[in-house]
Structure 1
Amino acid sequence: MAGSSADVVIVGGGSCGAVLAARLSTDPDRRVLLLDAGDGYVAAEGIPPRLLDLGVLPVGEGEPATWRYDGHLTDARRVPVMRGFGLGGSGAVNGGYFVRATRADLAAWDSDLWTYDAALPYFCRSETDLDHRGPRHGDSGPIPVHRDPPDRRHPISAAFHDAALDAGFPAEPDKNDSAAAGIGPVPLNARDGVRVNTALAYLLPVRSRHNLEIRGHTRVLRVLLDGDRAVGVQVERAGTVETIPAGTVVLCSGGVGSPLLLMRSGIGPADELRGVGIAPLHELSGVGRGFSDHPEIAVPYRYRDGAMHRPGTPVLQVCLNVGDEYELRPYTASFTDLVAGSPAMPPQLGVALMNPASRGEITLDPADPQGLPRVRYRYLELETDRRSARHGLDLALDLLAAPQLRALAQPLDVDRTDDWISAHLGTSQHLSGSCRMGPDPDAGAVVDERCRVHGLEGLAVVDTSVIPRVPSRGPHATAVMLAERAAELL
């Protein structure tokens, strides 16, 4: 694409940005420029094998496909949080879980544009379901969706599945076609053990389009405003700062990256921006505020008969959803085996709270506003969440005591106190709602139902930051649907 301006500049080539760039560039008269701070691969052959292997999590220390920040889960609990860096974003480094938001999740968006029935065609458009057919599944979309069959399950996956059934939980053979919950196989965005992220599925097949340009290793410093209109972005590439004019700017930098970029551009809570030395240009009090995520408690155990690591096995093959409250995740290996460079740690059963009441905030560091953010999750601050955590732990321990699992696994030093739970607390890394969608900016909404930033022309946000409340299932499939739908609405 000739020149340095574009009709649409998309900031971030992750799970949403890659979809938008592919869909918006189908119009040959629309010039689309995708900017990403990480690698801009030219072909699938250029993607490192570790990013394709569904049996590992490439999120270890020093991994160039990730960036990390300190997550303040509680006042006492701080953990490193890894996010994807480069084309494909976090979808290039996660476990491949590809489960849709439920009807109730989408009803919480409170928009006729985003009901489950309105969203269903876009869920279907995104996928080719290799296991299920029918009007509620796609058969020609870019993302292959696969579930490991029973004869390929890890012993822990198989035992957990059977134990949950014996405990009275219903079978849920298709987690992408049910408003209910239960035990069943996890839909994976994968084919033949290959993790298929959105860059691989959507972007690389069309990157030769004359009206689409992908620039890697390009850091966007701020969105440029002319009054109440976005007119471009300022970027740094190879040590040079330049300005790129744009008709429309769409931020797809993720639940942390998009609010950071807005605040660094003078868009956000005015008093807080002044406090870190940034002139407020457009006040939006909700930027970075009120996000939600899924707290996860790691219940450790040891294998009774030695190691069970099976290289190439998906990280998660089955899971148990208990209403919209809990998701129990029997991981198929220790994170020592899944994440290169990790210290020795036992295997674990994850207990995630899928409808937490806690809400967090993202702020700039006053000492270095251009550096790493401060991300406070405020997990388990409320008694309702602490009570849910205790109940979820009870469910996990009951299942581990079932005959099928007791033959394979022995829990390690588990008690039911709040202190123990806090010490074993992590995050699912599903951060949503930091630029949430809604009609009223005075009530904290940042974008309207069409993903346009309130009060500014030519600026939109399309990623999990706009989802008003973290879905009661992992958000990857919902993020892809969001981008599919937003490509039309924009």
Structure 2
Amino acid sequence: MVDVIVIGGGSAGCVAASTYARAGASVLIIEAGPTFAPSTTESWPTDLTNARRMPIGPESPYIDPISARTTGDQHVVATRGRVLGGSGAVNGAYFVRAPLSDFDTWPQDLWNRDTVTRYYNCIETDHDFGRLDHHGSTGPVPVTRAITAPVAQAFLQAGIASGHRHLDDLNAPTAGDGIGAVPSNVRHGRRISMAEAYLSPVADKITIRGRSQVARLLFDGDTVLGVTGRDDDGTFVVHADRVVLAAGAVRTPNLLLHSGIGPAGTLRRVGIPVRQHLPGVGVGVADHPEITIDYQPRRAPDDRGTPLQVVLHSGPIEIRPYTASFDRLIPGLSPMLPAIGVAHMTPDARGTIDVVSDDPFSAPNVEHRYGETEEDRTALSRGIDLATDILRASGLASDIHVPAGIGATTPLGGSLHTMGTARMGFDDDPLAVVDLTGRVRGARGLSVVDASMFPAPVSRGPHATVVMAAQRLVDAAISSH
């Protein structure tokens, strides 16, 4: 028996566990992937700390590969982190804040611009701009910027020469459109995951259970009692006063559904007893669809530094000049050409996450429906034109493989930025799954703190916002008790 169970040791889970532990609660993190002692971060595998590489290849022991339908009948394997630290331990260390205007559609009681800024500040130590009022200088997450790769340097100069505003600080409240260095959770070349940033200082106050998969939540009436699951030793049961879901925006709704919380018709179809009819679980799935422009480089690649050091924001589009080909950035991939990514950061398309059986360990059915609307396709087409023009001006490419155009069946990839699968909202919102502090409707003692609860998608990569929001939610939960 513990005070708090945190399901998922990713970024949101690490924030939640640390904050509850600091408040005096006994905390257990249950993580499906491998774990490492937070008190010995210097001995962690270099795969997880080397900011130049992303260990998400097909043979990686740190991923949760889930097949997802993207466009038409196209399926891709979407990989997420399954390790202590989650996706934030294996990604490109992009730590860009969402524009404050994104939060105007969030419930203003807890999520107005001033509050959001204060919480962004409290999670960071910005080594470039920490002296400014709109940044933090004492938080657990180091934020740095460095443009060291020739690709990034050339693309930045070409973007500026093409008339795009040079942004010194993409995390400034007034950043807007322009091109600049990517803020990263990196210090001295080391990717600082939230496991290191948040758990290391409280390592002696938290219990971590790795390689353990939660099957279902346990209830007494409408009150959560704990969880049941399996590990290498068999089935386990753990009881707690509070259960915090931080399994990510795919696994969190999947766990809710297998626990009988979700659309009643969906649950009955696969034989799961209905505990709470919440039609919003697994609907409204958002991501940032991306298409890449391959090119033949004029010079041999030099991938020093992080995988993405510069981005250009232009309206709904984010252009990503990756510092090298993906096979150099992601161990285990076949050789390929370097590429520029073009991502739609405010797409209209929404997908679903559904269960296919009553087996809690079966993979969910994930559909993204990228490029479903003409508006999304038009925006991506304009982004391709913009990226191609800057790439030509940069002198990086001897040959550019420009996509033929964006149609309803054009293969599109995602950014692995899944959001909004168990969204937050007021009591009169029929699709709201959690309230303004993340508490699941009709389930006492159960809350959600990861990107599942985003009431509307953010228009930047979500990592910094996940950390900020988790801190805000847990602080609100603790203060309400």
C-alpha distance in 1, partners of 2:74/2:398?
26
- Counterparts in 2 of 1:166 and 1:420: CA distance versus 1, 3 Å: farther
| 1:329 partnered with 2:286 | no
C-alpha distance in 2, partners of 1:395/1:416?
14
Could you tell me which residue of structure 2 aligns to residue 8 of structure 1? 4
1:326 Cα deviation from its structure 2 partner: 0.7
Could you tell me which residue of structure 1 aligns to residue 135 of structure 2? 137
| 1:417 partnered with 2:405 | yes
Give the aligned residue type for 1:146.
T
Q: What SS does structure 2 have at the residue aligned with 1:206?
A: helix
| 1:292 partnered with 2:286 | yes
Give the CA RMSD over aligned residues: 1.6
- Counterparts in 2 of 1:415 and 1:487: CA distance versus 1, 3 Å: closer
C-alpha distance in 2, partners of 1:75/1:215?
39
1:337 Cα deviation from its structure 2 partner: 0.7
1:46-82 deviation per Cα after TM superposition (whole angstroms, max 9, x unaligned): 4210110111110011211111011211123211111
1:242 Cα deviation from its structure 2 partner: 2.5
Q: What SS does structure 2 have at the residue aligned with 1:392?
A: helix
Could you tell me which residue of structure 2 aligns to residue 49 of structure 1? 46
C-alpha distance in 1, partners of 2:280/2:210?
30
Q: What SS does structure 1 have at the residue aligned with 2:48?
A: helix
- Counterparts in 2 of 1:239 and 1:247: CA distance versus 1, 3 Å: same
1:128-156 deviation per Cα after TM superposition (whole angstroms, max 9, x unaligned): 1111121111111111100005xxx2221
1:479 Cα deviation from its structure 2 partner: 0.5
1:292 Cα deviation from its structure 2 partner: 0.6
1:101 Cα deviation from its structure 2 partner: 1.1
Could you tell me which residue of structure 1 aligns to residue 443 of structure 2? 456
Q: 1:263 is matched with which residue: 247, 252, 257? A: 257
C-alpha distance in 2, partners of 1:348/1:483?
33
Asked if 2 retains the 8 angstrom alpha-carbon contact of 1:160 and 1:330, the reply is yes
Matches within 5 A, 1:457-476: 457-476=444-463
1:335 Cα deviation from its structure 2 partner: 0.3
Could you tell me which residue of structure 2 aligns to residue 58 of structure 1? 55
| 1:213 partnered with 2:207 | yes
Could you tell me which residue of structure 2 aligns to residue 233 of structure 1? 227
Could you tell me which residue of structure 2 aligns to residue 319 of structure 1? 311
1:226 Cα deviation from its structure 2 partner: 1.5
Could you tell me which residue of structure 2 aligns to residue 39 of structure 1? 34
Q: 1:386 is matched with which residue: 377, 383, 408? A: 377
Percent of matched pairs sharing the same residue: 43
Q: Which moved more, 1:295-304 or 1:391-400?
A: 391-400
Could you tell me which residue of structure 1 aligns to residue 116 of structure 2? 119
- Counterparts in 2 of 1:421 and 1:365: CA distance versus 1, 3 Å: closer
Could you tell me which residue of structure 1 aligns to residue 96 of structure 2? 99
Give the aligned residue type for 1:140.
T
Give the 4+ runs in structure 1 shifted more than 4 A.
Answer: none
1:400 Cα deviation from its structure 2 partner: 1.7
Asked if 1 retains the 8 angstrom alpha-carbon contact of 2:95 and 2:183, the reply is yes
Give the aligned residue type for 1:412.
I
- Counterparts in 2 of 1:264 and 1:415: CA distance versus 1, 3 Å: closer
C-alpha distance in 2, partners of 1:322/1:449?
31
Q: 2:238 is matched with which residue: 244, 247, 252? A: 244
| 1:273 partnered with 2:271 | no
1:234 Cα deviation from its structure 2 partner: 1.0
Asked if 1 retains the 8 angstrom alpha-carbon contact of 2:122 and 2:139, the reply is yes
Could you tell me which residue of structure 2 aligns to residue 154 of structure 1? 149
1:413 Cα deviation from its structure 2 partner: 3.3
Q: 2:335 is matched with which residue: 344, 347, 357? A: 344
- Counterparts in 2 of 1:420 and 1:383: CA distance versus 1, 3 Å: closer
Asked if 2 retains the 8 angstrom alpha-carbon contact of 1:165 and 1:183, the reply is yes
Could you tell me which residue of structure 2 aligns to residue 488 of structure 1? 475
Could you tell me which residue of structure 1 aligns to residue 295 of structure 2? 301
1:371 Cα deviation from its structure 2 partner: 1.2
1:86 Cα deviation from its structure 2 partner: 1.6
C-alpha distance in 2, partners of 1:13/1:369?
19
1:390 Cα deviation from its structure 2 partner: 1.0
C-alpha distance in 2, partners of 1:154/1:36?
35
Q: Which moved more, 1:108-117 or 1:275-284?
A: 108-117
Give the aligned residue type for 1:137.
H
1:469 Cα deviation from its structure 2 partner: 2.2
Q: 2:167 is matched with which residue: 169, 172, 189? A: 172
TM-score, length of structure 1 as denominator length: 0.93
Could you tell me which residue of structure 1 aligns to residue 365 of structure 2? 374
User: Is there any run of 5+ residues in structure 2 with no aligned partner, and where?
Assistant: none
C-alpha distance in 2, partners of 1:334/1:477?
25
1:414 Cα deviation from its structure 2 partner: 1.8
Could you tell me which residue of structure 2 aligns to residue 399 of structure 1? 390
Asked if 2 retains the 8 angstrom alpha-carbon contact of 1:147 and 1:185, the reply is yes
1:205 Cα deviation from its structure 2 partner: 2.5
TM-score, length of structure 2 as denominator length: 0.95
User: Is there any run of 5+ residues in structure 1 with no aligned partner, and where?
Assistant: none
